[in-house]
C-alpha cells in the first residue's frame, strides 16, 4: 500500500470548525446494506467513449490501494480530525473510466438516491479516495460500507456514503444538498457552505 505522500495531517482545525466529541454517523434516510461481493460502481454520462462502464470489486481491487490521513469536516462546523482512510484514489477510478475531454463536472450517487455535485478537478485531487476502511478497520454500514467517497478538502456532504455511481456532466449538475441551498463547490479552507457565497 502506498502511504508516502498520501498522509495529510490536519490536526489544526480549518476555519470556522470545532473538534467533534466523537464521530457520529449522519444519515439521509435508512442505512442500506450492500453486499461487497456484488457491489459495483457504474461510470456513465459524458464518458470518453460514450459507454457505461461497470467497475466491480475485482476491477477496483486491481487498482493500487492508498492511505490518506485527513479529517472529516461537516458543513455544520464539526470536524473529526486525523482519520486514517484507506481505499482507491478517485483519480485512478477516473483514469479507468475516463470522461470526455471537455468534461468538467460530475455527480456522485449513493445507493439510496443521495447525490453530490463536484468538479472533476476535485475528484483528481491527490487525497480524494473511494474509501473502504478507516483507522485500519472496514467501514461500518452506518459510515458507508462497502465504500464512501472521501474528499478531505471539501465538506463532508460532497462525499456520498454507499457510493454506487459516477456520472460525468458537461454542465454543472445539482445534487441533493446543492438543490437545498448548499455551496456547489464546498471548499473547507474557504468556508464555502452556502450557495449565496458564489
What CATH number should be reported for the domain holding residue 187?
3.90.420.10
More confident residue, 55 or 5: 55
Please check whether residue 64 lies inside any domain of the structure. Answer: no
Q: Distance (Å, rounded) from C-alpha 152 to C-alpha 129? A: 9
pLDDT of residue 112: 83
Please check whether residue 184 lies inside any domain of the structure. Answer: yes
Q: Distance (Å, rounded) from C-alpha 56 to C-alpha 127? A: 22
Q: Say what percent of the chain tops pLDDT 70.
A: 93
Please check whether residue 8 lies inside any domain of the structure. Answer: no
Q: 104 by DSSP, 3-state: which?
A: coil
Q: Distance (Å, rounded) from C-alpha 40 to C-alpha 165? A: 8
pLDDT of residue 11: 55
pLDDT higher than 50, residue 6: no
Please check whether residue 34 lies inside any domain of the structure. Answer: no
CB 67 within 8 A of CB 8: no
pLDDT in tens, 115-144: 999 999 999 999 999 999 999 999 999 999
Q: 132 by DSSP, 3-state: which?
A: strand
Q: Report how many domains make up the chain.
A: 1
pLDDT in tens, 155-180: 999 999 999 999 999 999 999 999 99
pLDDT in tens, 93-109: 999 999 999 999 999 99
Q: Nine-digit cell at 46?
A: 459524458
Task: Please give the residue range of the domain that contains residue 133.
Answer: 70-108+118-169+176-198
pLDDT of residue 28: 65
Please check whether residue 85 lies inside any domain of the structure. Answer: yes
Please check whether residue 21 lies inside any domain of the structure. Answer: no
The answer, as to whether pTM is greater than 0.75, is: yes
**Residue corresponding to grid cell 485512478:** 92
pLDDT of residue 30: 83
Please check whether residue 10 lies inside any domain of the structure. Answer: no
Going through 125-177 in order, the beta strands assigned E by DSSP cover 129-134, 137-138, 148-150, 163-169
pLDDT higher than 50, residue 67: yes
Please check whether residue 13 lies inside any domain of the structure. Answer: no
Amino acid at each position: 500500500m502506498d502511504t508516502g505522500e498520501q498522509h495529510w495531517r490536519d490536526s489544526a482545525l480549518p476555519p470556522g470548525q470545532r473538534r467533534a466529541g466523537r464521530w457520529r454517523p449522519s444519515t439521509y434516510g435508512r442505512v442500506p446494506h450492500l453486499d461487497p461481493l456484488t457491489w459495483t460502481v457504474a461510470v456513465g454520462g459524458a464518458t470518453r467513449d460514450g459507454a457505461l462502464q461497470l467497475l466491480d470489486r475485482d476491477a477496483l481491487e486491481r487498482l493500487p490501494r492508498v492511505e490518506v490521513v485527513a479529517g472529516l469536516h461537516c458543513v455544520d462546523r464539526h470536524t473529526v480530525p486525523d482519520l486514517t482512510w484507506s481505499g482507491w484514489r478517485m483519480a485512478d477510478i477516473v483514469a479507468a473510466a475516463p470522461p470526455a475531454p471537455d468534461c468538467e463536472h460530475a455527480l456522485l450517487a449513493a445507493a439510496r438516491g443521495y447525490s453530490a455535485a463536484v468538479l472533476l478537478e476535485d475528484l483528481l485531487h491527490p487525497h480524494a479516495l473511494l474509501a473502504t476502511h478507516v483507522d485500519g478497520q472496514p467501514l461500518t454500514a452506518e459510515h458507508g460500507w462497502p465504500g464512501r467517497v472521501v474528499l478531505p478538502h471539501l465538506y463532508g456532504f460532497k462525499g456520498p456514503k454507499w457510493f454506487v455511481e459516477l456520472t460525468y456532466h458537461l454542465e454543472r449538475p445539482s445534487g441533493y444538498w446543492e438543490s437545498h441551498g448548499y455551496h456547489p463547490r464546498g471548499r473547507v479552507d474557504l468556508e464555502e457552505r452556502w450557495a449565496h457565497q458564489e
